[in-house]
Structure 1
């Protein structure tokens, strides 16, 4: 049975933490000196690296192994506790070494902030995994919405009071950790007492080892440039780059990342129920939906780059942001296709070996191009390196993922999306010229509205249903009837296979 209201509630609420971080990354440019802002970004960046490498594989492993089961049994819960706690502990142990390498001038402050971030985010990941396994989407929504408000309040207050990176970084972690702890307390009241098995960890680690390596390779492709910038140009340059990166990438991923969190478990269940054929149809639909969301956002941002920078950023950031945005939005579309479509095939089919292969060469190229281009051209070189790395990694992921989940590439539907986005972009450029005398806010509001209306109109003229894109994003590939797909991602009895 479909539950569109629950779906929209879940989707809107899981947007909240991302939206909160986007707002903070913009607002903090006005509340902190550029160098302090750069250090705040580095804490978040390095913390995300540790979390992604050490704990994200546990979420994927748990969702994969619990697919189709009812409830989390005591032994499985105990194993999940050990894996999650151990991964977070390793992150804490590594944080001092990472801090000394990242920020030798203010190592102690950076280390404390990094430890707090690692523990806080580890609690969040574990709390959300329990709720995802239990399919409690409404509770996930509540937790994430409350966390978003807590983050905004805690970081905003401390940043306004201190104008330093340290207190806001710790406040961010404490706010997340407290909300996650409350969620965990509620979850454990509904679960049986955990039992801690002595076996099963080796199988989990065999599954996770390639994911840990690929997470580090992903870090090289997407975040390594900030550390290289910090090395060659200092924290202030990191701040300038990060502000442009936030404007260029965050809006593109704002909707597709939470959508992926919702649909990935459906892909796993589809694969378990129907095998590669059914999962391949699912992949084709998600590819089209990702293009609809990401390409549209990228075109709008690319045309309105000057207005976005003028409205959202202080004067010191604007010139750099406008120069970097074309590279960042292109790379953001590429990396969204990779992360939220093609890479899911490796996770679903348990082909982490192929995932590792798909990442290896792009990561090496990314590391080399980052060092070479940033050392020569500074943050402009980081933008160029981002384009090279993301393009190569997406092509590699696309080619290899289709070996495990082959699907008909919906070329015609993707071409229609690109055509609609191109027409809407042309109209937006005309509107931009007409409103050149207006304020950045007026140009953004009017231009964004016109773009959205024209883009949606041409999509509908080309046969897309906006409602179905939102409600059944996996059914947009053109070869799967939407009326027989329920909100759980599994066909009801009697549906056409």
Structure 2
């Protein structure tokens, strides 16, 4: 079931992900580095506000939808009522702040940021509903429509000279179109009634610590851009963001696809079969997460020169190549931490401990950024990010095993190393067998994919060998 659902979500999220990479290629060619830098700052600021204000609702929906599957309308009505309770005052405060801002460029961008925050929050809440109800087709229609509309509208506006506002307006309209086409009916007819006090308390007790944790994770992955803008300039932010987003989002897309399929299965197993059933599911989930993280990291590093030249605009390439391998390592570690070790806190309903692990990582990140950026520039920011994610993984693994029983890491790690060595080695050999950029990228991708797939069969990752043998015999 895990492999089948992963394939479903690979289509549902993978194709929109490819469109997003095309958007990165478009915007790094149509926008100047300082314009792309302002856009990146808006996105990271909206991301922080989204995490602080609305992330807990998405987490509550994902964790407790199956628990309330016998009365979903009442549960979803409470979620929607809480959404509006947060959205209304925040909209007013955001508009006042935007109108009072002295810089006319940032005044316009802040107004757009308020609209982006609201549309993005409701869109992601709808995605969480699709994931929790195990409907990858619905999830895919939402994601695909959003990705396609954003690049078409944003690219057209950037081409006619809208600058930093172009991709932001594209994202706003993309969220609105996707919601109107595929999500309005899911929320229509619900009775907007706040949950009972004890229910709301249990939801807040679960969701708020995770919200703080995600906000601290934002400090690790997003505060570097603010510090770069403060110490350096907006152009440096644009150069850093282009390279960072290319490698980090590529790797996290793959891991998020797996987790999107895997996490509801783990929750279902826990609710229906107890901890023993959850342990069996977590073994399969963890194997896929570890293998994808390590193999994806090594494969990206092997194909880095070709990928950067194909996707990133010329003004951004040298900076992207400088930070590429370090961000790839950071992405692999961040994915393993978030999608495997953090499940101990979520399934054990002890998410408050994540505040400690996230807080330690955030302090490490900010301190190292302030120390390293003045001397090493954006490379220092990449080093700080890697060190912070390593700190978060180690502390999370040590504390999490005392909260909820997790499967042994050793079988996952050695399988990941074997598959990663096959995938990365053959990807490097395939890329260097050709002189052209496109031929090298395609050759390396195919060689790494086939070698990694063979290694997965060889070491039987998540039972793939048994599944294929059964299919072959049938």
Question: By the TM > 0.5 criterion, same fold?
Answer: yes
Q: Alignment partner of 1:352: what SS?
A: coil
Q: Given the alignment of the two structures, is residue 443 of structure 1 paired with residue 443 of structure 2, yes or no?
A: no
Paired with 1:3 and 1:210, the residues of 2 have a C-alpha distance of 28
Q: Which residue of 2 aligns with 1:172?
A: 171
Q: Which moved more, 1:441-450 or 1:306-315?
A: 306-315
> In the alignment, is residue 349 of structure 1 matched against residue 348 of structure 2?
yes
Q: Distance in 1 between the 2:2 and 2:290 partners?
A: 24
Q: What is the correspondence of 1:75-474 to structure 2 with a 5 Å cutoff?
A: 75-89=74-88, 91-92=90-91, 95=94, 106-189=105-188, 193-196=191-194, 199=197, 200-435=199-434, 438-464=435-461, 467=464
In structure 2, relative to structure 1, the CA distance for the partners of 1:320 and 1:10 (3 Å cut) is closer
> Is the 8 Å Cα contact of residues 123 and 177 (structure 1) preserved in structure 2?
no
Aligned to 2:17: 18
Q: SS state of the match for residue 333, structure 2?
A: helix
Which 10-residue stretch deviates more, 368-377 or 193-202?
Answer: 193-202
Q: Distance in 2 between matches of 1:322 and 1:180?
A: 37
Deviations 1:437-489 (A, max 9, x none): x12111111122112222222332334478579x89xxxxxxxxx99xxxxxx
Q: Secondary structure at the match of 1:164?
A: coil
Change (3 A) 1:274 1:139: same
CA contact (8 A) 2:23 2:155 kept: yes
1:267-309 Cα shifts (integer Å, max 9, x gaps): 1122222333332332232221112212112111112222222
Counterpart CA distance in 1 for 2:313 and 2:196 is 56
Deviation track 1:366-415 (CA, whole Å, cap 9, x = no partner) reads 11111211122211111111111111111111122212222331414421
Task: Decide whether aligned partners of structure 1 residues 151 and 329 sit closer, same or farther in structure 2, where only a CA change above 3 A counts.
Answer: same
- Residues 299-308 or 218-227, more deviating: 299-308
1:238–1:283 distance in 2 versus 1, CA, 3 Å = same
For residue 495 of structure 1, what is the aligned residue in structure 2? none
State how far apart, in whole Å, the 1-side matches of 2:436 and 2:20 are.
26
Q: 1:11 to 1:203 in 2, by over 3 A?
A: same
**Unmatched 5+ residue regions in structure 2?**
none
Does the Cα contact within 8 Å between 1:35 and 1:237 map onto a contact in 2?
A: yes
Contact 2:430 2:448 in 1 (8 A): no
Q: CA–CA distance in 1 between the matches of 2:29 and 2:5? A: 37
Cα RMSD, aligned residues only: 2.9
Please name the residue that 1:487 is paired with: none
Q: CA deviation at 1:419?
A: 2.5
The answer as to whether partners of 1:334 and 1:394 remain within 8 angstroms in 2 is yes
Deviation by residue 1:335-368 (Cα, 9 ceiling, x = unmatched): 0001111112212221012111221211111111
Q: 1:47 to 1:389 in 2, by over 3 A?
A: same
Q: Which residue of 1 aligns with 2:27?
A: 28
Count how many residue pairs are aligned between Structure 1 and Structure 2: 469
Aligned equivalents of 1:101 and 1:429: distance in 2?
A: 53
CA contact (8 A) 2:282 2:406 kept: yes
Q: CA deviation at 1:198?
A: 6.0
The 8 Å contact of residues 91 and 118 in structure 1, kept in 2 or not, is answered as: no
The farther-off stretch of 292-301 and 14-23 is 14-23
Quick one: distance in 2 between partners of 1:386 and 1:65? Answer: 32
SS of the aligned residue for 1:67 comes to coil
CA distance in 2, matches of 1:188, 1:361: 39
How many Å apart are 1:95 and its aligned residue? 4.1
Distance of 1:140 and 1:468 partners within structure 2: 29
Distance 1:3 1:399, change over 3 A: closer
Whether the 8 Å CA contact 1:277–1:405 is kept in 2: the answer is: no
Structure 1 residues 52-63: aligned runs within 5 Å: 52-63=51-62
In structure 2, relative to structure 1, the CA distance for the partners of 1:144 and 1:426 (3 Å cut) is closer
Range that drifts further, 32-41 or 338-347: 338-347
CA contact (8 A) 2:22 2:311 kept: no
- For structure 1, the residue ranges without an aligned partner over 5 or more in a row are 473-481, 484-497
Return closer, same or farther for 1:20/1:205 CA change in 2, 3 Å cut-off. Answer: same
Does structure 1 retain, via aligned residues, the 8 Å contact 2:429–2:444? no
